[in-house]
Structure 1
Amino acid sequence: MEFQDRLAALATKVSNQAAAIGTEEATKNAFVMPFISSILGYDVFDPLEVVPEFTADVGIKKGEKIDYAIMREGEVQILIECKASTGAPKIEHASQLYRYFATTNARIAALTNGVIWQFFTDLDAPNRMDAKPFLVLDLLDIDDTLITEVQKLSKASFDLESIISSAEELKYVGALKREIAGQFREPSDEWIKFFAQRVYEGSYTQRVREQFTALVTKASRQFLTESVNDRLKTALGAGVSVRSEAGDAGAVTSGPVAQGDLDRDTEVETTLEELEGYQIVKAIACGETKPQRVTHRDAKSYFAVLLDDNNRKPIARLHFNGRQKYLGLLDEQKTEVRHAIDELDEIYSHADAIRAAVIRYR
């Protein structure tokens, strides 16, 4: 199995099991050890490669233990500190990593809750672990641009010089991407003022700040939506003929369908969250049909996921316009039942019903 496939398989396991993991030990067994074994490629049962509860006396701190030390030719290569998956890993959890980093030969340290992996090195000062990670891997939202960098940490591909040389760029590019994403979700006063002063000629008063808070938020979301739509138009604009199970007579041309989805109702604002929800439903539905048959239509009241772009073949409806999000599923009589969801990942818990809907229309 290729590295990317192994990473995807572990990500699926984490997505399916994260809600059931409640302790640090359970996190280690379910997520951390499989990551060390299947992703990094080390034998977790070989003490010459992986040492659990690694101990090294640090000043007056005697007998302190770090969760795992990955060894190479008798020297510590990577230090790993674990926390329960129920909470996000925070830098205040890394005090032991700081101390051990300074007293071993390790140049790489990892802080993880099994879901999010934060990797550190010593860019700011030699032999002193940085306060900010140079690489952050979220198994529930994998950034494809980081896969090659993660692979460099594996036993088969470990290249310390390459890791360190690219770490500084990774550190700041990653931090900037996370900061930009945060500003799009919830713009700060500085972000709002930055844009307001470029389009508004009057004084930046409290009233103007309040007005532009809503405007910048709306403009940011529309910009993201339009960017996604532009990419869809570019990818599908030429049209791709797909042979249906009935043969050439039933061919579906995805280009015009996608274009029609984008242009159908100019008063409807398709959000990035709706498109992400659609991709999850589509991924589930593709277990029972060809991906090209799963399409979407957005309306003012809900975002519909359809089979064959046919309103009489609804797979699911996404009600994401209100404060509470709902996933609408229809039974054999086309009666809709709404299920409240807080996170998009909760759609996966309704996978059986989504697949059943597709099977009914086949």
Structure 2
Amino acid sequence: MDFEDRLNALATKVRNQAAAIGTEEATKNAFIMPFISTILGYDVFDPLEVVPEFTADVGIKKGEKVDYAIMRDGEVQILIECKASTGVPKIEHASQLFRYFSTTNARIAALTNGVIWQFYTDLDAPNRMDAKPFLVLDLLDIDETLIPEVQKMSKDSFDLDSIISAAEELKYVGVIKREIAGQFREPSDEWIKFFTTRVYDGAFTKNVREQFTSLVTKASRQFLTESVNDRLKTALGAGVTVAPTETPDVTSEPVAEDDLNRDTEIETTLEELEGYQIVKAIACGEIKPQRVTQRDAKSYFAVLLDDNNRKPIARLHFNSRQKYLGLLDENKTETRYPLASLDEIYQHAEAIREAVVRYR
């Protein structure tokens, strides 16, 4: 397996087991040690590479410990502080990291609950750990643009200079992306005023703000919807024969709006929406389009008939590098077919129609 495949395999394990992990020690054994060994490539049983319960005297705090220290050539390179997977890692949990960061040679520190990994360095002041991470890796929602940066911290590819040089851009790009996502979900007064003053010549009064709050929110959602639909038009460009009186409804607005309000642990991707619309277009040869619905989950994206999970039309397994189309037979036994591109879904049109006919 290459680096990305190993990361996705661990992410699958986290999705499947997170609900059963209740303590910090269980989190270490199930998620954190496998990340150190499988993803970063360090031998967790070799004290020359990984030191558990790393101790150093720091001022008046004698004998305080950091959960793991990753060593290279006898020097501490990465400090890791762990919390149980049931809680969200917060900066107030990192007091040991702050103290140890200034007394060791470490330039990288990680705070993690095994699911979310927050990586820190010293961009703001030398030898003093920043208050904000430069990289946040969520194994339940992996940002593919971060994978090469995480790989730089692995044993085989460790490149401290490259990590530090990219850290500032990563730090601010990540924060900006999260801020933009938050504004699309719930626009702030500043966001509303920003757009209002560019399209409205009058004074920005209380009444104007109230009026434009709904307008900016609506415009933001329509912008996302149109972006998704542009991708859908491309995906549906190959065409599919449907009943002449039943034109498939390819609008993604309900799906896109639902995704904006969805729990952030489950992120519906553009590719999943495109795949859903392809399956829906095929199914519309047999039934009305409004009967085809979708439900996203952590492990797969389900396309259902009548919003009934007992009537699965198809499953889209798009959470790893290799994407699969899952089709179920009359006994609900699933067969997964690898997809090199979304257009290959059309090759399974007959099986998709058979599934619809079986339930209708």
User: What is the TM-score normalised by the length of structure 1?
Assistant: 0.74
Structure 1 segment 187-226 matched on structure 2, within 5 A: 187-226=187-226
8 A Cα contact 2:66 2:96, kept in partner: yes
Give the partner amino acid of 1:43.
D
- Structure 2 distance, partners of 1:315, 1:294, is 15
Structure 1 segment 168-187 matched on structure 2, within 5 A: 168-187=168-187
8 A Cα contact 1:24 1:85, kept in partner: yes
- Structure 1 distance, partners of 2:277, 2:191, is 41
Deviation at 1:23, TM superposition (A): 1.4
Gap change, CA 1:274 and 1:92, over 3 Å in 2: closer
- Structure 1 distance, partners of 2:273, 2:125, is 47
- Structure 2 distance, partners of 1:157, 1:10, is 19
Structure 1 segment 213-252 matched on structure 2, within 5 A: 213-234=213-234, 237=237, 239=238
- Structure 2 distance, partners of 1:313, 1:269, is 13
Q: What residue number does 1:296 align with?
A: 280
Q: What residue number does 2:256 align with?
A: 271
- Structure 1 distance, partners of 2:218, 2:142, is 26
> How large is the Cα RMSD of the aligned pairs?
3.8
Instruction: Select between 261-270 and 50-59 the one with higher mean Cα deviation.
Output: 261-270
Deviation at 1:336, TM superposition (A): 4.0
8 A Cα contact 1:307 1:358, kept in partner: no
- Structure 2 distance, partners of 1:83, 1:335, is 38
Gap change, CA 1:315 and 1:164, over 3 Å in 2: farther
Aligned residue for 2:102, secondary structure, equals helix
Q: What residue number does 1:71 align with?
A: 71
8 A Cα contact 1:57 1:64, kept in partner: yes
Q: What residue number does 2:148 align with?
A: 148
Deviation at 1:229, TM superposition (A): 1.9
Structure 1, unpaired ranges of 5+: 240-252, 284-290, 298-305, 321-326, 340-344, 346-351
State the percentage of identical aligned residues: 70
Aligned residue for 2:125, secondary structure, equals coil
Give the partner amino acid of 2:293.
R
Deviation digits for residues 49-102 of structure 1, max 9, x if unmatched? Answer: 111111111000001000100011111010001111112111111111000000
Aligned residue for 2:203, secondary structure, equals coil
8 A Cα contact 2:6 2:38, kept in partner: yes
Deviation at 1:106, TM superposition (A): 0.3
8 A Cα contact 2:78 2:106, kept in partner: yes
Deviation at 1:264, TM superposition (A): 3.6
Structure 1 segment 1-362 matched on structure 2, within 5 A: 1-234=1-234, 237=237, 239=238, 253=239, 264=249, 269-271=254-256, 273=258, 295-296=279-280, 307=283, 310-311=286-287, 317-318=293-294, 336=308, 356=332, 361=354
- Structure 2 distance, partners of 1:225, 1:76, is 48
8 A Cα contact 1:307 1:315, kept in partner: no
Aligned residues: 310
Aligned residue for 2:218, secondary structure, equals helix
- Structure 1 distance, partners of 2:47, 2:198, is 60
Gap change, CA 1:161 and 1:230, over 3 Å in 2: same
Aligned residue for 1:13, secondary structure, equals helix
Structure 2, unpaired ranges of 5+: 261-266, 297-301, 312-316, 318-325, 336-350, 356-360
- Structure 1 distance, partners of 2:308, 2:248, is 27
8 A Cα contact 2:225 2:252, kept in partner: no
8 A Cα contact 1:152 1:158, kept in partner: yes
Instruction: Select between 131-140 and 222-231 the one with higher mean Cα deviation.
Output: 222-231
Aligned residue for 1:63, secondary structure, equals coil
Deviation at 1:126, TM superposition (A): 0.8
8 A Cα contact 1:222 1:271, kept in partner: no
Give the partner amino acid of 1:42.
Y
Deviation at 1:203, TM superposition (A): 2.1
Q: What residue number does 1:245 align with?
A: none
- Structure 2 distance, partners of 1:179, 1:273, is 19
Deviation at 1:114, TM superposition (A): 0.8
Instruction: Select between 187-196 and 153-162 the one with higher mean Cα deviation.
Output: 187-196
8 A Cα contact 2:276 2:303, kept in partner: no
Aligned residue for 1:86, secondary structure, equals coil
The higher-RCO structure (CA 8 Å, 6+ apart) is 2
- Structure 2 distance, partners of 1:218, 1:94, is 40
8 A Cα contact 1:53 1:66, kept in partner: yes
8 A Cα contact 2:235 2:278, kept in partner: no
Q: What residue number does 2:346 align with?
A: none
8 A Cα contact 2:248 2:280, kept in partner: no
Give the partner amino acid of 1:62.
K
Aligned residue for 2:70, secondary structure, equals strand
- Structure 2 distance, partners of 1:60, 1:278, is 50
Deviation at 1:296, TM superposition (A): 2.6
- Structure 2 distance, partners of 1:68, 1:336, is 46
